[in-house]
Structure 1
Amino acid sequence: MNVQYISNQQGKRTAVVVPIKEWNKIKKKLDLPDDESVADEDVQLTKEQLIADVKEALEEVKLHKQGKIKLQSLDEFLNEL
């Protein structure tokens, strides 16, 4: 997959650019609507779920830095969907 990263002035990655062909595959795997006019509340996570997901991700990063787990690549993640 040919993704591009956008970094801020400090070099921290702040965004990812995914080719439209790949994005369409991701949307299909995630069963996201094709209609861009869908109301935001139809595709947004609840605040509680978002917080739980971020906490889980931060814990995984902590374990990775300690050498206890290996993080997935984007391709590995997408193949799970």
Structure 2
Amino acid sequence: MEITIKIDKRSKQAKVFYEYLKTLPFVEIEESRFNPDTEKAIKEAKKGKKTKTSLEDFRKELYS
């Protein structure tokens, strides 16, 4: 079974709880390195889901 817990580490109590969880042998911590949209794109790319676009369209999207 897998459970997801979101912890707002801005409070002292939350930081202490987070540090405690890291000491438990059966707890695996996955921290997000990027914002949710980027994380989603990375996961889709790893699964082989890609979108083709022309360089011109890419530049338009990038600079708009």
TM-score calculated relative to the size of structure 1: 0.25
Q: Which structure has more strand as a fraction of its residues?
A: 1
Structure having greater relative contact order (Cα 8 Å, sep ≥ 6): 1
What is the TM-score normalised by the length of structure 2? 0.30
Compare CA radii of gyration and give the structure with the larger one: 2
